[in-house]
Amino acid sequence: MIVFLQNIKKIDMATFDIIMPKLGESVEEATITKWFVELGDTIEEDQPIVELATDKVDSEVPSPVEGKVIKINYEEDAVVAV
Which amino acid makes up residue 18? I
CA distance 2 to 49: 10
pLDDT digits (tens, 9 = 90+) for 46-78: 999 999 998 888 889 898 888 888 888 889 999
pLDDT category at 27 given cuts 50, 70, 90 is confident
3-state secondary structure string across the chain: CCEEEECCCCCCCCEEEECCCCCCCCCCEEEEEEECCCCCCEECCCCEEEEEECCCCEEEEECCCCEEEEEECCCCCCEEEC
The pTM of this model reads 0.78
CA distance 22 to 30: 10
Q: Which domains does the chain have, with CATH numbers?
A: 3-81 (2.40.50.100)
